[in-house]
Structure 1
Amino acid sequence: MITTVVAGNPKAGSRTLDAATRLAATLTGADPTNIVDIVELGSGLLGWGDEKVSAAVETVAKSDLVIVASPTFKATYTGILKLFLDQFATGDGLRGVTAVPLMLGAGPAHAMAPDLLLKPVLVELGATCPAAGLYLIDSTYTTDTRIADYTGRWGSTVLASARDEA
Structure 2
Amino acid sequence: MINYFIVAGLGKNRELGLSNELLWKLPEDLKNFKALTIGKSMIMGRKTFESIGRPLPKRETIILTRDHSYKQDGCVVLHSIDEIENYLTQSGKTEAAIVGGGEIYQLYLSKCSKMYLSFVDFEGEADTFFPSFDASLWSEDSLEVHPAGESTLSWKFVTLSRK
| Fold shared per TM-score above 0.5 | no
Higher RCO, Cα 8 Å, sep 6+: 2
Q: Identify, as 1 or 2, the structure richer in helix.
A: 1
The structure whose Rg is larger is 2
Report the TM-score, using the length of structure 1 for normalisation: 0.36
Q: Identify, as 1 or 2, the structure richer in strand.
A: 2
